[in-house]
Amino acid sequence: MPNSNLSPPNHQLPKKVLIYGCGYLGREVGHQLLHQDWEVWGSTRSQESVRELANIGIHPIISDWNDSRTLGHLQSFSNIVISVSRSVFSKRDHWETLVLGLQNLISRVSINTRITYISSTGVYHQRQGEWVDETSPTRPNRPSTQAHLAAENLLCRHREPNSWSILRLAGIYGPGRIPNHRNLIEQKPILVDPNSYLNLIHVEDAAQAVIATLERSDQKTYVVSDDRPVLRGNYYGFIAKHLGCPKPIFASRDNMKLVGGRSSGNKRIWNRRLKNELLPKLRYPSFIEGLTPLLDSIR
């Protein structure tokens, strides 16, 4: 006779996550989660990306959050990572892409779904080399970062307590993404102020930060940057020396007035909360550890 006191085997279902906007960062997040036995889905707007996601084991979904007809599949996910950016070819502006799109999405997901929203350290307006963290004031002056901040506020207002995290990421680099290194090799002027600060995070560490927020029972904003802000002149000088290139050429101040975006920033990110609560130790604590193997591979 069977022993009625025996419990049935525990066939736990895999944890399921949707990476909405599964681009450079999202694919690294998915890659790492697949090795932790998660069931990973990724959204894209292009058929070409469908094949690429499927090839690395991520279940692809064609979806555009500005088109409500493509948002009928969201109820089954316990975790959603939002990593949407506006394409330079988009006919929609930043507000429509980031804010109205997010509004469409959060109106269609379960109240129990935990959301991790990928924002930008560009929401900080400081330009005098100041140290900034999660408590610093935010007055962004670019359409993209104004939209990111508005999206953050939308998420805070319309989601249940303890159901979200916001990650404000510094500039992401990693395999296949070393900003401006071609300009160094080809001796073209780089449109940055060499005496301004640059904040960076390796894509593997950025993905680890994202994963650390999944299934958390709090609601917090984190800045995600490595341990060592660097002057842009030193950063590009390091790359040039490592590649055996001549010293970098920087644009004149007159040309710099025409430059916008991240390249015009000048602040230092203090990652204390990230280190205390999410990632006590980064794999790449500075650009030196992160860039060296990448540069060795292209020399």
Distances 90 to 23, 87, 96, 105, 135 between C-alpha atoms, Å: 16, 5, 10, 19, 33
Q: Does pLDDT of 238 surpass 80? A: yes
Counting beta carbons within 10 angstroms of the beta carbon of residue 272, is it exposed (0 to 12), middle (13 to 18) or buried (19 or more)?
exposed
- What global pTM score does this model have? 0.91
Question: Could you give the CA distance from residue 105 to residue 116 in angstroms, rounded to a whole number?
Answer: 13
Q: How many CB atoms lie under 10 A from the CB of residue 234?
A: 14
Contact between 162 and 218 under an 8 Å Cβ cutoff? The reply is yes
Radius of gyration of the chain (CA): 21
Residue range 156-160: average pLDDT?
A: 90
220 forms bridges with which residues in the sheet? 165
Residue 260 has pLDDT above 90, yes or no: no
Query: Which residue is associated with the tokens 């279940």?
Result: 59
User: Domain 16-176+201-227+267-283 class?
Assistant: alpha beta
Q: Domains of the chain: which residue ranges?
A: 16-176+201-227+267-283
Tens digits of residue pLDDT in 59-100:
999 999 999 999 988 888 999 999 998 777 678 899 999 999
CB contact at 8 A, 166 and 117: yes
Is a pLDDT exceeding 60 seen at residue 54? Answer: yes
Measured between alpha carbons, how far is 10 from 264 in angstroms, rounded to an integer? Answer: 54
52 φ/ψ sector (left φ>0, alpha ψ -120 to 50, else beta): alpha
Q: Is 75 exposed, middle or buried, given 0-12, 13-18 or 19+ CB atoms closer than 10 A?
A: exposed
176: helix, strand or coil: coil
